[in-house]
Structure 1
Amino acid sequence: MAAAGVMSDLVTDGSKRRSANFRPSAWDYDFVQSLRSEYREERSMEQVEKMKEEVRDLIRSEMPLVEKLEQIDAVQRLGLGYHFEPEIKNALQAIIDGATDTAGAFDDGLHATALRFRLLRQNGFTVEQGVFQRFMTEDASSFRESLREDIKGLLSLYEASFYGFEGEAFIDVARTFSSACLENVKGDNDVWVRKIDHALDMPVHWRPNRLEARWSVDVYEADQRDCSNPILLDLAKLDFNVVQSVYRDEVSKLARWWVNLGLNKMDFCRDRLMEHFLWNALMVYEPQFGAFREMSTKITCMITLMDDVYDVFGSWEELQLLTKFIERWDISKIDELPSTIRTCFLAMYNTTNEIGYWTMKERGFNIIPYLHKLWVNQGKTWLEEAKWYHEGYKPTLEEYLNASVTSIGGHVVLFCSYFTTSDKLSKETLEYLCNIPNIMYCSSLILRLTNDLSTSSDELARGDNFKSLHCYMNETEASEEASRQHIKSLVQDAWKQMNKDAYGYNPCPRPFLGACLNLARASQLFYQYGDGHGIPDRETKDNLKSILIQPIPIKQ
């Protein structure tokens, strides 16, 4: 299906259409389609399997507690954890079994205690915040001043503090204390300063796996102490390149789909196929889940396309009609829609049905009714936001979030992560996810708020609705800086709730839970230095190059 060749500058009432002046894609699709795998030949795969056996033996081997913790941390930071989940679980269970009391405490220093706390929570084990109590003052209001010189311990404490749950006061104090101490660290040790700067820029818990792996390879290679097991570094390099080759094949096919669809020629909307693929590769990065990256990248393209129709292109009357078509999910009277909007709706309709066909064929389950329900929710919230714009209405923060956490599209993408990564679908789970459980809401809330913090000024300048920051400012008369701090506190609260849902008991499949965490991580990444999606400048392009274009050099 080709896109409409001509788009009228006028809406049906004769008024001029708005324009967001989005930048064109920064990528040449002929180049993207030419990408080929370089590390998927039999020789590379045999090397990976051989090295994996050596690392398994390493994880199973006996060693002092701190060394074992640091080894597990290295495996996971280097992006290798998905290969060794049973071995890591067994090693951590053995550490728990060796605890000296029921709270899981040991008579170890701050570094070991904080690292153990983080790794246990990160891998789904129960560990109480009380393990930190012995490092605190008698009234448990702050950490002991003598700890200020323990740089390694402070860094571990800081990283652990981002795994806190709602209501854990010790963890909140840990973050405040450790971050204040680390910000004052000076010294000649370049590796340690680099690690501290990296953590303060963004904690490891908020960083996507593939990009953290790429950064960690460089740092572990620079720090001889971390290279005591060179097999880890060798495997990390080769595995990164093998996974990159998988991504290259996938994005090459997606570029061909996007160009054939013709929507890259639509000049009113954001052409962001590559950024959409990066987003979804960061969400579900394991190579075996290519179906998710393909289906969800297509869905993300449709979300952005339709969002721009509602935000920029369509008139109020056209958007009301479009929403009715989404609700009916029927193309029998499609000619009632204006040409360009008709093309966009057909693209969404056909893409959804193609994904439904794939799921029926591969999973034996019809998910179209569930996807349709989510699209209807999207359409209603897009229309509500359009109504605010056309009526000049300024919503409260609560009103805004009730609509915008849905309209940003995270719910649809997260739903895709279930049916594309699970072999056994159930009606009960599909219905549960369509009702948006708390972990999906929190993940989408982080996406919404981080987006708002980075894009609000640009969007207001072109006449869009208020965003969360401005809703709060208008409602409370707070300053912009105070409002930013409030929105950032909402992000931190959402992370605490999501931590509890992801690392406590949850009946949802692990790949889905990981996708919820990783959607939030990708959001933190894309919007850390501005609108890395709408205006994909240096940071986003560099990240794409790291993930897709530039393999890690390997000495032969």
Structure 2
Amino acid sequence: MIINNFVTPKDTQPAPLPSETDFVSNDINIKNELSRKHLELLEEVRNHLKNYSSEPLDMVDALQKLCINHYYEEEIGLILKSLYARMSNNDDYKHDKSLYEVSLSFRILRQEGYYVSADVFADFKQKDGKFKEEIAQDVKGLMALYEASQLSLDGEQILQEASDFSSGALKEMVPSLDQDQAMITTNILQHTWWKDLGLAQELKLARNQPLHWYLWPMASLTDLSLSEQRIELTKPIAFIFLIDDIFDVYGTLDQLVILTQAVNRWESNSLEQLPHHLRICIQALFDVTNEISDNIYKKHGFNPIDFLKQSWINLCEAFLVEAKWFAEGYMPTAEDYLNNGMVSTGAHVVIMHMFFLLGGGPNIKSASIVNENQGITCCLAKILRLWDDLGSAEDVDQDGNDGSYVAYYMKENADCSIQKAHEHVMEMISNTWKQLNAECLYSSHFSRTFTKACLNLARMIPMMYDYDENHSLPFIKEYINSMF
């Protein structure tokens, strides 16, 4: 037989093509090999962690920053217990340690719920009470000291001094530092749910920033096992921004009253009086919230729908108060504005969803604390509101207007300059951070996973609201670009 000028013996058959089974088998072999290598690497790191010749905190810190520390919880726990015992029972422990080592030990222990006295930094001060000049050139130590100082509690003056000293020294050194930044990479999941909702097409003036919204849960829920929770948490964050834009630039006051009443009733029939674009947005809110509640019930055995509904009711009512103030030309006191503005940040909505997504449902007392904007929720909302108001009283690329604590504070204090007002707000933020640190350190109502997530949310705020003179957020754009 002759085929294409090649002679093939009659009794010779062409080699069979690979079957689907062959491809599947090969794929399984590849996955098994990758899984084997993965386990070998994990075990290799575990052995390094167990047999680390010097202080292992560098390695613990690296594992936490790489978000793979959950593989080594037992080993890290033993390391931290041993370190805490040595620091607590040995006054000489810190004398032979560098600024970096002491600062790193202090920060990681406090982050993990161990109380360490701020007096560990006393040895780095001179007789006159100021920090030693020789540490002003220690970049690594200064950065560690600054990070440690952010975990201060009320009354810890030495940590305030540490923050001022380290930040001042680092700022002076900026021109000589290497400006290369490590690239942060991720395989970020595409939010097809957002596209499927079609709200970006219906509300063209509203913010359409799914990547911005995803940054919050990505930074707060760092454990790799919480991928599903990160995606779910992005959904209420998206609706907070959407509803904010509806109240700012879309709805008339009459429509906003109807909308708030509809959310209060949580009934689709209540939406009939609203225009189409507002109706589908709130209907989507109902559907997504009910879906999240169902998923939480299936996973944790507790249906949080009543708590989640109440968080949205509180948010819409706070938005409506601001809308009425603006429509009537009313100037609230700075305190009244702040109290309402803390609710209108939506922080309580995010924290409430996060609480239940992390399995906190059976603890009704803790859920009530979150729902009533106490403790951690109150602190985080206050920091968010004040940081946001420091940036601008106008939303980014929006025609609508919000109030500003800075503006109301200056109105009440006629002799106060904009600089003094900003300094006052920064002091408020600093004091609130101390309260938040104390709440997370001492609170027995919440899991460590939850309190860590709240702290991470608060840490994100300065970056997420770092406005420039054009009311835009260039740093966020650079940050997102770096991830890709």
Sort the TM-score into its range (normalised by shorter chain): 0.7 to 0.9
* 1:306 equivalent among 234, 239, 243: 243
Q: 2:126 maps to which residue? A: 137
* 2:234 equivalent among 292, 297, 302: 297
Change (3 A) 1:122 1:377: same
Residue 82 of structure 1 deviates from its aligned partner by 3.2
1:499 matched to 2:437: yes
Quote the Cα distance in structure 1 between the aligned partners of 2:419 and 2:228. 42
* 1:521 equivalent among 433, 436, 459: 459
- Structure 2: runs of 5+ lacking an equivalent: 1-29
Change (3 A) 1:517 1:64: same
Q: 1:263 maps to which residue? A: 199
Q: 1:392 maps to which residue? A: 329
Work out whether residues 466 and 475 of structure 2, in 8 Å CA contact, stay in contact via their aligned partners in 1: no
Q: Which has the larger radius of gyration?
A: 2
What amino acid does structure 1 have at the position aligned with 2:442?
A: G
1:275 matched to 2:263: no
Deviations 1:238-272 (CA, angstroms, capped at 9, x unpaired): xx86xx33x32xx2xx22x2222210102131112
Work out whether residues 303 and 409 of structure 1, in 8 Å CA contact, stay in contact via their aligned partners in 2: yes
Quote the Cα distance in structure 2 between the aligned partners of 1:100 and 1:349. 52
Deviations 1:502-528 (CA, angstroms, capped at 9, x unpaired): 233433012221221122222222222
Deviations 1:142-174 (CA, angstroms, capped at 9, x unpaired): 223444354443333222211211110111111
Q: 1:54 maps to which residue? A: 44
Quote the Cα distance in structure 1 between the aligned partners of 2:462 and 2:174. 27
Work out whether residues 455 and 531 of structure 1, in 8 Å CA contact, stay in contact via their aligned partners in 2: no
Work out whether residues 452 and 467 of structure 1, in 8 Å CA contact, stay in contact via their aligned partners in 2: yes
1:70 matched to 2:58: yes
Work out whether residues 451 and 531 of structure 1, in 8 Å CA contact, stay in contact via their aligned partners in 2: no
Q: What does 1:385-534 align with in structure 2 at a 5 Å threshold?
A: 385-422=322-359, 425-456=362-393, 462=399, 464-477=401-414, 478-530=416-468
1:287 matched to 2:277: no
SS at 1:163 equivalent: coil
What amino acid does structure 1 have at the position aligned with 2:458?
A: A
SS at 1:394 equivalent: coil
Work out whether residues 118 and 156 of structure 2, in 8 Å CA contact, stay in contact via their aligned partners in 1: yes
Quote the Cα distance in structure 2 between the aligned partners of 1:124 and 1:531. 39
Of 121-130 and 504-513, the range deviating more from structure 2? 504-513
Quote the Cα distance in structure 1 between the aligned partners of 2:460 and 2:88. 38
Quote the Cα distance in structure 1 between the aligned partners of 2:438 and 2:322. 31
Residue 460 of structure 1 deviates from its aligned partner by 11
SS at 2:172 equivalent: coil
Change (3 A) 1:41 1:489: farther
SS at 1:148 equivalent: helix
Q: 2:480 maps to which residue? A: 544
Of 395-404 and 449-458, the range deviating more from structure 2? 449-458
- Percent identical pairs in the alignment equals 30
1:122 matched to 2:111: yes
Change (3 A) 1:48 1:448: farther
What amino acid does structure 2 have at the position aligned with 1:316?
A: L
What amino acid does structure 2 have at the position aligned with 1:366?
A: N
What amino acid does structure 2 have at the position aligned with 1:444?
A: A
Change (3 A) 1:56 1:297: same
Quote the Cα distance in structure 1 between the aligned partners of 2:466 and 2:432. 17
Quote the Cα distance in structure 2 between the aligned partners of 1:80 and 1:95. 21
Quote the Cα distance in structure 2 between the aligned partners of 1:431 and 1:288. 27
* 2:167 equivalent among 169, 179, 186: 179
Work out whether residues 366 and 445 of structure 2, in 8 Å CA contact, stay in contact via their aligned partners in 1: no
Quote the Cα distance in structure 2 between the aligned partners of 1:371 and 1:186. 45
Please report the RMSD computed on the Cα atoms of aligned residues, expressed in angstroms: 2.9
1:380 matched to 2:317: yes
Change (3 A) 1:260 1:316: same
Residue 100 of structure 1 deviates from its aligned partner by 7.4
- Structure 1: runs of 5+ lacking an equivalent: 1-39, 199-214, 219-239, 551-556
Quote the Cα distance in structure 1 between the aligned partners of 2:58 and 2:175. 23
Quote the Cα distance in structure 2 between the aligned partners of 1:51 and 1:115. 26
Tell me which of the two structures has the higher relative contact order, counting C-alpha pairs closer than 8 angstroms and 6 or more residues apart: 1
SS at 1:422 equivalent: coil
TM-score (norm 1): 0.74
Q: 1:230 maps to which residue? A: none
1:324 matched to 2:312: no
Quote the Cα distance in structure 1 between the aligned partners of 2:34 and 2:462. 33
SS at 1:166 equivalent: coil
Residue 385 of structure 1 deviates from its aligned partner by 0.4
Quote the Cα distance in structure 1 between the aligned partners of 2:50 and 2:198. 53
Work out whether residues 323 and 379 of structure 1, in 8 Å CA contact, stay in contact via their aligned partners in 2: yes
SS at 2:393 equivalent: helix
Work out whether residues 152 and 437 of structure 2, in 8 Å CA contact, stay in contact via their aligned partners in 1: yes
What amino acid does structure 2 have at the position aligned with 1:511?
A: T
Quote the Cα distance in structure 1 between the aligned partners of 2:68 and 2:130. 36
What amino acid does structure 2 have at the position aligned with 1:510?
A: R
What amino acid does structure 1 have at the position aligned with 2:76?
A: I
Work out whether residues 418 and 511 of structure 1, in 8 Å CA contact, stay in contact via their aligned partners in 2: no
Quote the Cα distance in structure 2 between the aligned partners of 1:339 and 1:154. 56
Of 91-100 and 475-484, the range deviating more from structure 2? 91-100
Residue-pair matches, total: 452
Residue 437 of structure 1 deviates from its aligned partner by 2.8
Quote the Cα distance in structure 2 between the aligned partners of 1:351 and 1:461. 26
